Homo-oligomer: A and B are copies of this chain.
Amino acid sequence: MITSQKASEIILNNTENFGVEEIPFLESLGRILKEDITADRDFPPFNRVSMDGIAILSESFSKGIRQFSIEGIQAAGSEQLELKNTANCMEVMTGAVLPKNTDAVIPYEQVIIENGNASIQIDEVKHLQNVHLQGNDRNKKDLLIQKNTVISPAEIGVFATVGKSSVKVAKQPKILIISTGDELIDVSKNPLPHQIRRSNVYTLVSLLERLKIKVQTEHITDNKPLLKKKISQFLEDYDVLIFSGAVSKGKFDFLPEVLDEIGVEKLFHKVKQRPGKPFWFGKKNSKTIFAFPGNPVSTFIGCLKYFYPWYKKSCGIDFQNQNKAILDNDFSFKPELTYFLQVRVENKNGKVYAKPIVGKGSGDLANLADADAFIELPDNKYNFKKGEVFPLIEYR
């Protein structure tokens, strides 16, 4: 049995490249950018008026002129005008090009306008005041966003600004999520006393939706020939198979032997952790198989702890979860296993506290709805004190 740390290492050494696709920029939120985005022109692209008011030549002010006849209006979106007489001024609007022969903007709050004349009410006018100079923010060809960035609304705005109506993003792997177990029935059905409804596949669908991955789901009964036939086919059709169930020691936990028989290489089976110990991971050529134990919390943490980083690294992000939280209650856990403790997280004055939400065992799905994260307690100790700091895995 390997440690959780070793399991992560093996998984991250077995990533795959799914290539790149070009999509409309407005559909790219949450995807991973696969090209550098550079400025197509200077920003601002011209000497830009940054206050509504009047533009003058500051030299005229220095010479003692305080009252300026208004020659015209320079609106945002209009071609640059020219001030013909530098003893005059031009009304200018925020976002407009600064008129030729002017070099300073005085806001409306500091002038009185009467009968086509603007009287300046302040004692100092500086060269280039209230002018946002061409190229001040960024110059043409400057790198604005680096390749391998997760696209947020900020990036969407930058794409629009530089005219990237379509962008290159990491192509999503084709993923199938498969539940096993004869006790499972459909969500819409009424279970017999010995049956329960399928839930893990849907939790996984949602966890992957967060990564903007659209997945298919399947259910296979605990029937070895059927499993063999179906999985062989799925390996042809998908890049990744994620299983929930059939990896433990039960008589009908056929998955490890079936995967072996159809030529999938086992990279490990069983991890020193709770929940989720019987986790199985393997590959067949470029196809990757995550087989999580069937209980709800094992599948949930398995996806967050192992699949997410694998996916991110596969798409080019060197993801290292640096988030940590401060334990808010003493807690003890004896077995020599990494323990994923469910917690509720609270930010108090800039410090992240984690309060244990102790469920009734790894089958207690409702406990996941009471908590909002896991903290990862190492396997080399068993008393965890209030105030100690541990890695944090959030899911809200």
Contacts and interface: CB of A to CB of B under 8 A. Distances in A.
Contacts of A262: none
Interface in A142-183: 142, 144-145, 149-150, 152-165, 181-183
A29 B109 CA distance: 49
Interface string A198-220: 11101111110110000000000
A285 interface: no
A32 interface: no
A190 B396 CA distance: 41
A292 interface: no
A248 B94 contact: yes
A325 to B, nearest CB: 5
A380 interface: no
Contact of A157 (B79, B202, B209): B202
Given A248-B94, A252-B75, A352-B351, A200 B154 contact: no
A153 B206 contact: yes
Given A29-B206, A183-B95, A363 B137 contact: yes
Contacts of A181: 76-77, 95
A73 B323 CA distance: 46
B251 A91 contact: yes
A187 interface: yes
A20 B296 CA distance: 29
Contacts of A323: 347
Interface string A103-147: 000011100000000000000000000001000111000101100
A271 interface: no
25 contacts: A26-B206, A43-B364, A44-B363, A45-B193, A52-B253, A76-B181, A76-B252, A77-B181, A77-B183, A77-B184, A77-B194, A95-B181, A132-B360, A149-B369, A153-B300, A154-B368, A154-B395, A158-B365, A158-B366, A158-B368, A158-B369, A163-B191, A163-B197, A322-B346, A351-B352
